[in-house]
Structures are given as C-alpha cells and as structure tokens.
Amino acid sequence: MFEIRIGTILPAEKALDMMPLLSPLKFEGYELTCGAYFRTCDIGEYAQRIADAADGLPISALGCYDNTLSDGETLRDIERLIDNAARFQCGVVSVFAGALPGVSVPDSIPTFKKVFSGLCARAADHGVSLAIEGCPMGTNWRSGGGQNIAFCPDAWEMMFDAVPDACLGLEWEPCHALMQLMDPVAQLRKWAPKVKHVHGKDGTVAWDVIRARGIACGQAYGWNRTPGFGDTNWNDIRTILLMNGYQGFIDIEGYHDPVHYDTGEWSAQLRALNYLKDCRGGREYIDCAVYRGYQPPKGR
C-alpha cells in the first residue's frame, strides 16, 4: 500500500448522500468536516452509517474549523470529536488554533497553551493526533481577531514551544503559504516533521499583477486552486513528505477554485485525484520484489 493516500473532504451533514456517488471515482478515503453537526446527531449511529456508506474506505480526519480560543461551544465540539474518533477508526482531529479579539498573536500564546495543553492530554488518552490548519481566517499578528493565530511559521514556533506535545502538529497545504507570498516547498522542507495531515489545495499567485500594482491596490493577486491547476509542483511536496516519513492522507479540499467549481467541481477533483496519485509514484500499487535496485527495503 502507498504510504500516502489521496482522499477528499466532505461536510459531515452531506457525506452519507455523497459517498455512494463518489465511490466509482476511486478516492482512497474521506475527511469529514463536522463543526457543530455532532451536537445534535447520534454519533454512534452516524459512525455506523458512515462506515457502511464509505464501503471500506477510511476516515482520514475529523475536522472542526471554528474559533477554539474564543468559543466555548467550539472547544466542546473538538472534545467531542476526540472522544468519538475511535468510532470512525480515525486518528486525526483537525482544528483551527483560534484567536482572541484585540489580542496580538504573541500575547495569545498563554491562552493557547492552557487550551491546547488540555486538548493534547485528552487526545493522548484517546490515541488521537491534533492537526492545526495554517489558514489565516482574518487574524492579524498585532491585533488578533479572526479565528486562527496559526497562519505563519513564526506563530508555529511559539505554539509548539508552548505546547511541545508529540500529538500536536500541523494540517499543512501549499495554498496558505502561496497566498502569503511564501515558498511552500521551502516551508514544508523545514516543517514536514510536524505535519499530521495534508489538505490538497493549491494556489496561483499573479506575479504580473504584484509587479505592476503591488498588493494594496484592491485587485486580486492570488487565488485558491485545485491541485494540478495551481503553481505548486506536487512531486516536490510528495518527495519531502515521504523523505520525512509521513504516512497519512492528502485530502483534496475542493469548493474554492474560482474557475473549476459548481458543475465543474468533480471533474476537477477527479483530475486532481489522478494528478496527486501520479505525483506519489503511481495510481495502482505494485509490490514486486524481484529486483529492488540500489536502495534498501523501506522501513529499515
């Protein structure tokens, strides 16, 4: 089996209807974005129905992307996902770090430490990893706000210094780096050891617009893209992940591309699925030990 598998992200409230329709496309798993959905449903019954609908495919992650630091309900949602992850045979819960209104990123770290130390203890008790997504979500370094202080490497340094727990890591994707005009390959080369989960979302930066008009003129200079349509060479991404021992999922995060969306959504996701499979080294796994070449067997 490939060390890295390719899935897609589904909203929990729609997943039961979507999975049977997506089954012929040969995704290899699903992330479920849950938010507040589990506040009212019977989780045990839902998990069983998901297992039936997924037809043997794994649930790679359970996601809750709201303000962990400022919203007590969101914190309880995340605790609920941790407590019930085993029902889905899932080992990753994906979250935002959260943010505080009017509080700078550095000054938010004590609250982050208190909240995530508790979440990490809970996650460790349940054998779960916490993956913090690097999406800015309107958060400002100096004045806080938004929903997620974990939008840049300087913040990551502070977060992981404050909570040096092995179960805490990143949910990484190249798009968030590109939209901040950072090099995603250089970023991943440093931070790959902390990656717990990967979102398959790319970006396009219009450098011609930036050179001509800068970034403050009000004209868009970057767009979220489906993998295969953006600026990132995912061969490089896969190589770095594999060389750092990553064994998990890249889940395509659709519904963002300004060109391939709506009626074009799933055609683009299918292309992304096959593109990412090709980048990892193949669409079908072949284990042939007749001649391995010059590298030692993996795992030694």
Tens of pLDDT, residues 44-79: 999 999 999 999 999 999 999 999 999 999 999 999
Number of domains forming the structure of the chain: 1
Predicted local confidence at residue 170, as pLDDT? 98
Buried b / exposed e over 47-58, threshold 16 CB at 10 Å, is beebbebbeebb
CA 3 to chain centre: 17
Query: What is the domain-level CATH number for residue 199?
Result: 3.20.20.150
Residue 297 domain flag? no
Residue 289 domain flag? no
Residue 87 domain flag? yes
Predicted local confidence at residue 157, as pLDDT? 98
Residue 56 domain flag? yes
- Domain extent for 84: 5-280
Residue 195 domain flag? yes
Q: Of 71, 70, 94, whose CA–CA distance to 82 is shortest?
A: 94
- Provide the whole-model pTM: 0.97
Residue 232 domain flag? yes
Tens of pLDDT, residues 101-158: 999 999 999 999 999 999 999 999 999 999 999 999 999 999 999 999 999 999 999 9
Predicted local confidence at residue 79, as pLDDT? 98
Residue 208 has pLDDT above 80, yes or no: yes
